[in-house]
Structure 1
Amino acid sequence: MRSRLRCRRSIGPRHSLVASPEEAPGDLKGLPEELMRRLPAVSSEKELREAAAEVVQAALQLVDHRHLIKDLDRIWPTTRACQQMGSAEVLTLTSALKQALACQIRDLESGCLPRRKVLALFNFIAELCWANYVSPSEHSIHSAMRLLLDTAFSGVGINDPAAWYVEACAYFLAKVGEIMALNPLEVFNVLDPLSARVGCLARNLPRRTQHFVWVLLRRRHRLWRGALYLSVSQSYWQDRARSRLVFMAHSKGDPRSCALAAVPRPACESIMNFVCERCPLDAVEVTWTIPEEPEMPATDDWLADFVSSMPASPKAREGSECSEATSPLSPIADE
């Protein structure tokens, strides 16, 4: 068998790891113009830290970060490094972004972020990994994912964040798995265990969450082919149209013939919120475009089969231990 230890990769501030992922469609937004002007003009550590924090905050408002990354690439060569106060170290745009992301990860661990921002944060980190601003091997990223899955494990079926955390981890692994696959140690320590764990946790979670896990497993099986991105689901726009009909019936309807016209406005707004999520970004789902790829099965048999084929160790089923040689996710398991 050919040794997989020859599959090594270098990590540098702007080193190209593998071929760029396939482009996804979309109307993209980038950095605000004000930030585009400020970043090349920073002259102190404080200004650079503040600008990097604003870049991360701008990223949390977006679903797709490809244009934002291209904007960063354009200004990266002209953004000056700054001497850190009380230290001989130099603060660069790359290190400032890492520190700003670490702050957001701490907020994430404390449960302060809604679903749309949880997914936006991990999508942004994944795009930064592809552009090599950060590495998928960052300890803070792995620690955050393990903590989120621990939280989901203790709260499955109780609250929505359990589903959000599994979705974010599954999406991140599906997005950067191609990079991790080049390093057998990352496959052994990160990709396999976390993939196994999200598969186990998805059994008790909503179907939208299971779709994130299905995309991760199928994309790995298809050797990371196809374009992967986040998009607002079509069902949201259908529900939004129904919600507008409720509003129109309440505002324009005749109370003698339309029951909604006689309903008090607060009650009508509650009905609208039940029919449709308030913000389009709350209805974000994962989209994977690949030729001849079937839809997610209507039943959960695929998930049950995956869980049953996992190693028998309870620790492996919880995702803290999973051998590369025995994992059903590893390509060498089929050889």
Structure 2
Amino acid sequence: MAGTHGSSETKVSERASHFLKTLIEHHIRDGQPVGSRTLSKETGLDLSPATVRNVMSDLEEMGLVSSPHTSAGRVPTLLGYRLFVDSLLTIKPLDEIDVNALRCEFEPLDDATALVDTASRLLSGVTRLAGVVMLPRHERDVFRQIELLPLSGKKVLAILVTGEGEVHNRIIHTERAFTPAQLVEASNFLTEVFTGQDMVEVRRRLLEDLQATHERMDELLHQAMEMAQRVVESAEHKDQLLVSGQTNLMHFDELASMDRLKALFEAFSEKREILYLLDRCIKADGVQIFFGGESGYEVLDDCSLVTTPYRVDGEVLGVLGVIGPTRMDYQRVIPVVDVTARLLAAALRQHN
């Protein structure tokens, strides 16, 4: 079974588990609340309506299902989905014909970016969701040098040079004025620490260090790291993440309001937050699933993200996955994500 983000500790009886599994599978199919009569019919158990209602009440008390105000039926909660994926889902591997059809899509390509683009397209095409793939680390830009120069008042010009020789400038308003000597000292420190690292790793380390050592950090160093973080964020290339099939999400009623779609499409266009999220999966072993608020990213509260890292010779090069509504077909999506990661890794190994 695929590894997942978080875990479900709720103890549920065998009969209640059977009902929950049936309810979720029905809800995934049509997106509607599921009533007791439908459940009784689909579970194939010869139970009285009162017994079915009691089981449903138990599931509701455990926080695994909820009742929308407008309906007598129930829908799964995020906790219900978590239990379903962790304990009740049987994953069937893709059959060999499907795997070979996917493999053929990669075979004529010998360029890393084209391979990643193909993986993204295949993920969205096969699942009918949005496919996301991080570029391999060795294809990404690296941090070469940073210079912090004083401007008038409490303003600093941050100049970042990346591995390809690109120069990124950003004017930053600071809480206090710094002398040229202080800024030279800070620039030298940051350049020494981060030179040669890819930009995603630099941003991740800056964020971690700022959160972890704020209390103990020298004020100059803390402000210098904040300045570096801002210029690194503005310089990060949007092509570090390839996204395909965003428009597939328009076909799901729960995501189809204009406000929600606008926020989602902005997130796909901006990419930075989704990149942060995929970064968190770099060290995962196998498939990880984030339901709704587990992502920590508000725009994905009504979505799920299914991801897995892809590796070449034991080294994790990136993460790929799909984003879709919480009621996506996990039984189908999880093996597609897993196989695509393996095929991309194999194609990149050949390319190298």
**Which band: TM-score by shorter chain?**
under 0.3
Choose between structure 1 and 2: higher strand proportion. Answer: 2
Which structure has greater helix proportion? 1
Query: Which gives a bigger RCO, structure 1 or 2 (Cα 8 Å, sep 6+)?
Result: 2
TM-score (norm 2): 0.24
